[in-house]
């Protein structure tokens, strides 16, 4: 059972639709019992880091997510803000993230690139420095749709699945064991996003 976690900050309909396009079904839920039975978990997200963590806490979801991520080792995919929540901390806020991946979230520093504006918005290419089931059958270069002002910085480059250049290279997909996160929106990225969801569901 694929569960898309509803904590009132996600692009839920688009994710449900693309999962259906690749031949699978999913459930959108904030119910602890439903999430506890998931075989795959997707944590979407659009908005502010602190508000997202507050919503997870108010819905009493952090404990069940920790159980699934750390104890049961359930395959777990964070998308955009959902990816950022998987890390330890963000410069956007004052509260800690879930801490599943040894990384932090930094604001783009583009003083040396005056032609570029934040947020980073639109299609951009990704490089694939490390092999991983989530990246199988993705052509190089692959292109994904981004909308964000902050990006991940991994402490260990072995945790980096994809890199993207926006002024400078940043970590655009990250992982640790069963936990994966992508900064872009695969649900808005057509054939590339469909392949990524197919990989997550069938290979991870």
Q: What is the pLDDT of residues 112-151, one digit of tens each?
A: 999 999 999 999 999 999 999 999 999 888 999 999 999 9
Q: Which of 80, 135, 148, 154 is catalytic?
A: 80
**Separation of alpha carbons 32 and 191, rounded Å:** 32
**Nearest Cα to Cα of residue 36 among 73, 68, 76:** 68
User: CATH number of the domain at 2-203, out of 1.10.1740.10, 3.20.190.10, 3.40.190.10, 3.40.50.880?
Assistant: 3.40.50.880
- Given this model, what pLDDT does residue 77 score? 98
- Given this model, what pLDDT does residue 141 score? 87
| Domain ranges across the chain | 2-203
Q: Is 190 a catalytic residue?
A: no
Judged by average pLDDT, the poorest of 101-105, 139-143, 153-157, 168-172 is 139-143
Mean pLDDT of 71-85: 98
Q: Which of 132, 187, 190, 204 is catalytic?
A: 187
H helix intervals, the chain? 12-21, 32-36, 49-58, 62-66, 81-85, 190-203
Q: How confident is the model at residue 10 (pLDDT cuts 50, 70, 90)?
A: confident
């Amino acid at each position: 059972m694929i569960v898309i976690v509803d904590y009132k900050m996600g692009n839920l309909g688009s994710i449900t639709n693309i999962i259906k396009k690749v031949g699978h079904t999913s459930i959108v839920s904030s119910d602890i019992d439903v999430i506890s039975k998931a075989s795959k978990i997707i944590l979407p997200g659009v908005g502010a880091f602190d508000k997202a963590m507050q919503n997870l806490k108010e819905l009493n979801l952090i404990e069940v997510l920790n159980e699934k991520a750390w104890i049961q080792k359930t395959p777990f995919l964070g998308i955009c803000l959902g990816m950022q929540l998987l890390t330890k901390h963000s410069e956007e806020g004052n509260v800690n993230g879930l801490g599943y991946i040894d990384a932090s979230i930094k604001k783009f520093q583009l003083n040396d690139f005056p032609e570029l504006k934040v947020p980073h918005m639109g299609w951009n290419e990704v490089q694939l420095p490390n092999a991983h089931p989530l990246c199988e059958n993705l052509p190089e270069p692959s292109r994904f749709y981004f909308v964000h002002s902050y990006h991940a910085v991994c402490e260990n480059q072995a945790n980096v699945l994809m890199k993207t250049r926006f002024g400078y290279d940043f970590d655009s997909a990250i992982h640790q064991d069963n936990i994966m996160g992508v900064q872009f929106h695969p649900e808005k990225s057509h054939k590339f996003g469909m392949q990524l969801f197919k990989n997550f569901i069938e290979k991870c």
